[in-house]
């Protein structure tokens, strides 16, 4: 049976957040190259699978390492840390943007 395509989540008018079940979540940085974004998403999903495996096997070292990988991927995607809209655009001199 074929999967139905997912409807994209609702976004705030400024495009900075998606809304899922009434809760706002920061979107990924739209300036990311699609290939780089996909690599980061792949790493994020692999780390989340490792967290689940670590919990099933009570492997605290693996869980700690996998959670660190999740954090690094989310920061690189712009979903955590300094908001992506506050970061300088790569290759653009902030003094010239004013």
Q: In this structure, what token pair is assigned to residue 57?
A: 């096997």
Q: 56-71: per-residue pLDDT in tens?
A: 999 999 999 999 999 9
Quote the pTM value: 0.80
pLDDT-based confidence at residue 91 (cuts at 50, 70, 90) = low
Q: 15-72: per-residue pLDDT in tens?
A: 999 999 999 999 999 999 999 999 999 999 999 999 999 999 999 999 999 999 999 9
């Amino acid at each position: 049976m074929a999967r139905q395509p997912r409807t994209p989540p609702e976004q705030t008018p400024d495009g900075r957040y998606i809304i899922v079940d009434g809760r706002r979540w920061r979107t990924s940085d739209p300036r990311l190259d699609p290939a780089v974004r996909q690599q980061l998403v792949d790493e994020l999903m692999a780390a989340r699978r490792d967290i689940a495996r670590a919990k099933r096997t009570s492997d605290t070292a693996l869980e700690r390492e996998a959670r660190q990988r999740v954090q690094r991927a989310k920061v690189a995607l712009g979903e955590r840390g300094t908001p992506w809209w506050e970061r300088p655009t790569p290759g653009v001199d902030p003094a010239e943007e004013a």
